[in-house]
Amino acid sequence: MSNLTSNNFLVTLKRLDSEGCIHINDNTVTAIGRLTEGLKLQDNNYISKSQIELIVQNKNIYLNNIGSVNPTYLKRSSEVNNDKNQLDVKDILGEHLLLNRYYPVQNNDIISFLGPEASTVSLKLEIQDTLSQPSSTDTINNSIPKTTTTTTTTTTTSNNNNNPSNKTTIKPAAKSGGFGGWSDLLLPYCQRPEDHKDDVVFYNDNVVMIRDKYPKSKYHFLTMPRRTYNKFSGLTKDDIPLLEEMYRDSKKYLESLGINEKRQQEEFKFGFHAIPSMKQLHLHSISKDFSGAGLKKKEHWISFTTDFFIPFNDFIDNLNKNSKITLDIKKYEALHHGSMSCPKCSATFSTLPSIKQHYPTCK
């Protein structure tokens, strides 16, 4: 906590990725989120209208996490780890903030609102004495309301829990902000799966399987090797047994959910994105309903319903034939930015809502 003695006390929140900022005076309670003027977040639907509440009272500052769309993380200014080979989720993003809990914050702490595919927004908190007030357009003044601390009870499950309805709200995915990159955030699950029991559904010495953080379907899992692989680079024929183990373990887990082989063949896809968004090699196991809450962009639809999604057997054939994964990246980039079409009837659509409305009824 800060103990500055000046009678003029000002808190500034600055975006790390843009010029957006706001100023907050002492003895105020301020809701901060998508609609906060000055932060330029209006178009970011991955952030709640009110994501956090910042309480500044008698030069003490507390953060209350109230957002329900995506999680919030707090990176303490004293928690900097420059050894990228030893990064864990906490090292990269800081502490995951539970809902309706009050956290003390101080100068130079970084607050991150997490969204998929590099949509993370990070805010740096700066505390200063000031003799002048900021302009009315940059200052948020609120009379301080009475606040009560709400305690929530959470139940965690073991890594052997087979109930897909037990979904965690902790969905780390961060943009590079001086303390790590969002595309590295699958690695902690491979390094220490036992620390992530809410996310990990299965692991052994070679493989770890997690729920996708932004599921594009009712069932959506990622299966990864425990060993670090940078996307497809370095894969050789010698890795085929490991890839096949990932595939087998994915299918076995679905079987444990009561999804038999026939249903898996008819209702699921197993494969890799031609251009992965995350660095660690990962196999998607996804049901074909494409009704998940995380399917919010045209690119999401294309990445699972076109040749951009490489079926597991085709991936293995490519590796067998070429002794490495050989892909026409320009072709897949063009495909990823192409038009949306229904994988059942091939009809094209210009908007995501229209194709999502059409798809479930298409025969």
Residue 130's CB is within 10 A of a number of other CB atoms, namely 13
Band (pLDDT 50/70/90 cuts) for residue 137 is: very low
Domains and CATH numbers, the chain: 9-140 (2.60.200.20), 186-361 (3.30.428.10)
Candidates 17, 58, 21; CA nearest to 175 is: 17
Least confident of 113-122, 333-342, 347-356: 113-122
Q: What stretches of the chain show up as alpha helix (H) in DSSP?
A: 89-93, 187-191, 240-256, 261-267, 298-305, 312-322, 329-336, 352-358
pTM: 0.56
CA 45 to CA 154: how far, in whole Å?
A: 26
Beta bridge partners of 211: 221
CA 283 to CA 352: how far, in whole Å?
A: 25
Which one is catalytic: 282, 336, 337, 358? Answer: 282
Band (pLDDT 50/70/90 cuts) for residue 182 is: low
pLDDT at 77 over 60: yes
Band (pLDDT 50/70/90 cuts) for residue 88 is: low
CA 23 to CA 12: how far, in whole Å?
A: 4
* Chain segment 6-63, per-residue pLDDT in tens: 447 899 999 988 888 999 988 888 889 888 988 888 888 778 888 898 988 778 888 9
Contact 114, 171 (CB under 8 A): yes
Burial pattern 79-103, b for ≥16 Cβ within 10 A else e, equals eeeeeeeebbbbbbbbebbeeeeeb
Collapsing DSSP to helix, strand or coil, 210 comes out as strand
CA 330 to CA 325: how far, in whole Å?
A: 15
* Chain segment 300-329, per-residue pLDDT in tens: 999 999 999 999 999 999 999 999 999 999
Q: Rounded to whole angstroms, what are the CA distances from 263 to 130, 181, 193, 255, 266?
A: 65, 37, 28, 10, 5
The gap from C-alpha 66 to its chain's centroid, in whole angstroms, comes to 18
CA 263 to CA 321: how far, in whole Å?
A: 30
The gap from C-alpha 34 to its chain's centroid, in whole angstroms, comes to 17
Q: In this structure, is the dihedral angle defined by the CA atoms of residues 191, 197, 202 and 205, taken in order, positive or negative? A: positive
- Across residues 75-101, what is the average pLDDT? 69
- Is 282 an annotated catalytic residue? yes
* Residue 311 in tokens: 């079926």
